[in-house]
Chain A
Amino acid sequence: MGLNKFILVGLLLMICGLTPLFAENTFQLNEYQPRLVVADANVASDDSLNVNDLGFSQADVQSDLSQKDLDTREDMLKIHQILGLTTEGFLLTEFVVGLATAKNVANGSTDTSLVTDLGWATLAVYSATAAFEMFAPKPKNKKHSGNTAIHEALSWIHLPLMVLVPLTGDMINDRLGSHQPLGNLPVVHGVMATALVLTYSTSLLVITF
């Protein structure tokens, strides 16, 4: 091997071994690669890495509700959830008792006191459940979506039914008390009560599963 070849191989080995480790130095020293030196010169300083420099506006980040309101909302919705499950228990019991009472009335009985008392109790628990949702602080710009939207849409069905079912029940009681014919009123009452139980139970299921 001649001297020139020996120097050539030695030089190549040295470059191969060292350039990856000293890449920057190699290029900063190489006058034919000025772009890379410029890139290093333009590199931001550590101080500029701050979230305040990312261009977020107050509207981009700020919540509609304060933390206190969010906590209050959460507490109220938790009570709404517990009362909602309690209402479901009352509703199902009322429905079963209502079926038994309807059978007794058809057989000539006029005693509807149990179903009536249970009905008013159900209405009271239902109203409390609704109130804890209605009066909970709400974000201004947040629209209901997903299962919550279905839960809310169903409330527009079971809320009026929760008013109409006790009213028709009260009308049945009045007619029974004054010995008037009941007509189709028990059927209407029964259909509305069934719709109430179904829509309320569905609204509870969609929010849970």
Chain B
Amino acid sequence: MKILKMVLLLVLLPTALLASDLKGNWVLEKSEIDYKVTHPLHHVVGKSTQARGKGYCTSTQGKFIVAVPVKSFDSGDGNRDTHMLQITRGADNPLIAVNVQFSAPVEKAFPKEISANLEIQFAGKTVKYPKVKLGMVPLEAGRVQITAVVPLSLKAFDITPPSLLGVPIEDAVPVQLEMTWKKQ
């Protein structure tokens, strides 16, 4: 009978971890969001640490929202940041909002990676990015680090690529997200 109890404990422990690790309400504790712009003469990285977010995870799904002010991005050049604000219609649409939705994984106690559907509201447009890989690393004290790269396209958001000496920047502007979420 002792053996049965031991085996039952070993079998049930992973499911306990799954539920306790992901389920519940989460809040974005800190983040760094970078966008990368490529031009034959320049490689520019704009950063923001002003994102805020919240969400929840049940046993079946996770739903999160993350938003960041357009004006909070710093590329190291104030004039370029103002230009970015202009071309992305940042005065009329001051927030970039990302809705994240995923099905809760059941096969592992704590997945290293999950596939999420993203809906990004930016520059007055909403674009869906399905099956974006989110890397997950469990941290201490109910925290999780999430990393992802969103393959943002300027055309998708009707943004005219800015040009220098008549040469426009590349349409692909990959956005790297590094976030630490805390369980509430």
Decide yes or no whether A86 CB sits under 8 A from chain B.
Answer: no
Decide yes or no whether B82 CB sits under 8 A from chain A.
Answer: yes
Partner of A43, one of B25, B80, B81: B25
Check if B89 sits within 8 Å of A49, measured CB to CB. no
Check if A46 sits within 8 Å of B63, measured CB to CB. yes
Partner of B85, one of A12, A63, A209: A63
Complex Cα distance, B58 from A71, in Å, reads 45
Are A148 and B94 also in contact (CB < 8 A) when A12-B7, A40-B59 are? no
Complex Cα distance, B80 from A149, in Å, reads 11
Decide yes or no whether B97 CB sits under 8 A from chain A.
Answer: yes
Number of interface residues of B (CB under 8 A): 58
Decide yes or no whether B141 CB sits under 8 A from chain A.
Answer: no
Number of interface residues of A (CB under 8 A): 52
Check if B86 sits within 8 Å of A74, measured CB to CB. yes
Complex Cα distance, B77 from A145, in Å, reads 5
Q: Which of B64-88 contact A (CB under 8 A)?
A: 64-65, 67, 69-72, 75-83, 85-87
Contacts of A149 in B (CB 8 A): 78
Residue of chain B at shortest CB distance from A23 = B15
Check if B18 sits within 8 Å of A23, measured CB to CB. yes
Q: Which of A178-209 contact B (CB under 8 A)?
A: 208-209
Check if B80 sits within 8 Å of A20, measured CB to CB. no
Complex Cα distance, B164 from A77, in Å, reads 12
Decide yes or no whether A15 CB sits under 8 A from chain B.
Answer: yes
Residue of chain B at shortest CB distance from A145 = B78
Contacts of A21 in B (CB 8 A): 106
Are A67 and B92 also in contact (CB < 8 A) when A51-B67, A148-B78 are? yes
Partner of B82, one of A8, A19, A60, A142: A142
Check if A49 sits within 8 Å of B20, measured CB to CB. no
Are A208 and B94 also in contact (CB < 8 A) when A51-B65, A54-B53, A56-B52 are? no
A residues at B contact (CB < 8 Å): 8, 12, 15-16, 19-21, 23-24, 26-27, 33, 35-36, 39-40, 42-44, 46, 48-51, 53-56, 60-63, 65-67, 69-71, 73-74, 77, 139, 142-149, 208-209
